Each structure stands twice: as structure tokens, then as C-alpha cells.
Amino acid sequence: MTALLKKVRASMMNAIHDLPLLVAGDEGFFRDQGLDVEIVRTPGSGQRDSDHQALRANVFDRTMEALYDQGACDQFRMCEWGVMKRAVESTVSSGHRAAKIVALGSAMSTFAIVTDPRSRIYEPEQLKDKPIGVSPFNGSHFTTLKLLEGFLKREQIMTTFAGTMRERIEALKRGEVAAVSLMEPWISVAERQGLRVLMESHSTRSEAASDELDGPTLRKMFEAEAEAARAIDKNPAKYAHYLVVEAGGMLELEDLKLTRILNAPPEQYTRERFDHTYQWTVGWGLVPPGATYENTVDNRAWA
């Protein structure tokens, strides 16, 4: 039976980003679509004992990107802006395996800006010219900029590299930064430790794939992830254990705020969405100019 299934290798970094992937695998939704999906674990910043390769300054030296460049996986998902950066730079720069944006979705990762109550910071405006701990060119970085640009001028927003999620919390408690950007389950870890959520938002994922992964196979993957998203939204408590495990004993299931677990079915990445997101990243100097919808996006799953 297994020999008849189409083999795909998909990267998994952090549970909040990749929950539909994990659930689709464990619940047999991929198999129902005729797929044998190997989940290649490439730890990001969310595991308690994350490898710092996941945080290297050059994004193509990081764990997932390096393995993708080497051909160890065919498909991955990140925050929308992170996928944009990697897809654009693999297109306009030589020496990297091409990655195209192939869908919007399926997870909606929660990010929050967190402060220490002892700092007496009560509103976003108080973060003017103060260091906020993130990991560069990841969801925590991009979402912080998105959250704060409605309250501060761009030049007043000061992000700084502060390590993994666990390390950011420690840096915040030591007073080395005024705030940190965290995703679940680390928002709940921070709340359990008495830290304050200043503001939060859901951050849309994008899906990326190599040119070798054909459209019909991608469509089957997305159908399985959509089924997983529906299952998670119906009973998030059933799948919350994936997030608790990532915190490595720093969180109990009852401490996790289940309403932060939100997922949506993958859908086509539109030209309007590309133009908006790409121009925003170019405006911040986060990606090089010169990319187009035609050379960066491929909705082959819906062809």
C-alpha cells in the first residue's frame, strides 16, 4: 500500500506554524489523499532547546533553509513575510534552490509583544526608541513591525536580536530589553510567569515549494491541511499537546489559551496580496526590489 502513495518531504519548524501539517499526518488525512508525507523536523526558535543555527543572520544558513537548499525537503511554510523574503531572494540572487509561493495558509500563528510589569509599560507608544527582542527575518520580527507601525514612526521602532523564545523571556526579565515578541506556546509561558501581553495578532502563514513539486500533489496536500484545520478548530484541546511539548516542561495544558490556536484552509496567493506584501517588505528594506508576481508566485495547485 505504501509503495502506491506519492512521496513528499515537508519541513516542520514550530508547532504553531505547522499544526495542520502535523495533524494531517497523524490523523491520516495525507494518506487519504494518496500521499506519503515525510515530515522533516527543522527546529526553529520555538523549542526550549533550539539549535542556534535556526537563528543565523543569513537566512539561507538557517536549519530549514540549508536543508531545503540541499534538497532534503520539497515544501515548507513560514510567516507570509518570511516566505516572501526567501522566495524573492532565491529568485533574484544566484546560488539558491528556487522556492515559489504556492498558497496562502494554512495556519494563523499568534504573536504577541510582551513586557515585564515592573517596567510600567502599559501602551505601545511607550516602546518608542526602546529595544524589542525578536529573531531577525522571522515572524516575530515582521509581526512586531506590523503591530507597532500603527502607533510609532518607523524610525522609532527598535528591534534587536534576542535569541530563542526562551532566551527572549529571560532577557526581558533581566531588563536587557523593554519588550519581546513571542508566539505560542511561549506567550502562555510568559503569562504563566507573570509577564504582560501588551498587544497581539494572528500572523498568516504562506506555503512555499520547489519547482519539482507538481500542482496536483500540492492540491492534495492542501486538501489534507484544510481537513486538519477544520479538525483543529472543532476541537483545539485535542491537538494542544503539540504546543505543550515544545515548551519542554515550562507549561501545562491548562495554561495554554486555546482561542489563540487558529487555522484556515490554504488558498491561492493573489496578485493583490503579493503586491501589498512585497511592497511592504521592500519599504522596510527587508527584501531586494525587482521581483514580480510572475517569477515569485505559482498557484499551480489550482491550475
For the chain, the distance separating the N- and C-terminal CA atoms, rounded to the nearest angstrom, is 28
Give residue-wise pLDDT tens across range 98-153: 899 999 987 788 899 999 999 999 999 999 999 999 988 888 899 999 999 999 99
**What's the mean pLDDT in 244-249?**
90
Above 70 in pLDDT, residue 44? no
Can you give the pLDDT at residue 65?
Answer: 75
How many Cβ atoms sit within 10 Å of the Cβ of residue 259?
A: 8
Where do the H-state alpha helices sit in the chain?
15-26, 29-32, 63-69, 80-92, 139-148, 165-173, 186-192, 215-234, 236-239, 241-246, 271-283, 293-296
- Given a contact cutoff of 8 angstroms between Cβ atoms, the answer to whether 40 and 72 are in contact is yes
**Buried/exposed 99-116: b ≥16 CB within 10 Å, e otherwise:** bbbbbbbbbbbbbbbbbb
Average of per-residue pLDDT across 19-36: 96
Q: How far apart are CA 180 and CA 158, in angstroms?
A: 11
